[in-house]
Amino acid sequence: MNCILKEVSLTDGADIYNMLREIGPGENGFLNDGNVEFSGFPVFLQNYVNMSLGINLANNQVAQTLYWLYVDNKPVGYGKLRHHLNDSLRKIGGHIGYAIRPSERGKGYGKLILKELLLKAKEKDIYKVLMTTTEDNTLSRKVIEGNGGLLSHISDGECYYCISI
């Protein structure tokens, strides 16, 4: 199995677009804002390239980098790595969020993408990662715990995990 984590690029094409469409608008509190028409896809990509550079951020946004997980040259999921946290992300979201396309779930790709995103966090000098997930999302909780996540507390149905790198 050949796995690679690739940063968002203006040259990303239909394979990425189709993956985002399959994932849909989001689940378990994770918003997939890539649910756009194909004609708007280049603007979507440009927005994420800018966001990774900290360009044109709204007041409530932080710089974040979007990555695609490819397995055997097929995109199977994506993850967002936030470069730092604001008050909102400390409550819900944390440093990392990820999604795996439904047709590829149950194959260990969630654990794999989180492992790779933690390496990217280290490259950005983030050594203590906050992750949040809903209390009833047992699959994400297992993925986080499988990557060294320690449950710090639960509040209003949201689990707060810390991963030290």
Tokens of 101: 């396309």
Tell me the C-alpha distance between 126 and 85, whole Å.
11
Asked, for residue 161, whether it belongs to a domain, the answer is no
Work out the burial of residue 29: count CB atoms within 10 Å of its CB; fewer than 13 is exposed, 13-18 middle, 19 or more buried. middle
How many folded domains does the chain comprise? 1
Indicate which CATH number applies to the domain containing 43. Answer: 3.40.630.30
Q: In 90-125, which positions are buried (b, 16+ CB within 10 angstroms) versus exposed (e)?
A: eeebbbbbbbbbeebeeeebbbbbbebbbebbeeee
Asked, for residue 157, whether it belongs to a domain, the answer is no
Asked, for residue 143, whether it belongs to a domain, the answer is no
Asked, for residue 44, whether it belongs to a domain, the answer is yes
pLDDT tens digit at each of 165 positions of the chain: 899 999 999 999 999 999 998 988 765 455 556 567 888 899 999 999 999 999 999 998 999 999 999 999 999 999 999 999 999 999 999 999 999 999 999 999 999 999 999 999 999 999 999 999 999 999 999 999 999 999 999 999 999 999 999
Tokens of 30: 């994770």
For 43, the domain range is 3-125
Say what the pTM is.
Answer: 0.92
Asked, for residue 140, whether it belongs to a domain, the answer is no
Asked, for residue 51, whether it belongs to a domain, the answer is yes
Asked, for residue 9, whether it belongs to a domain, the answer is yes
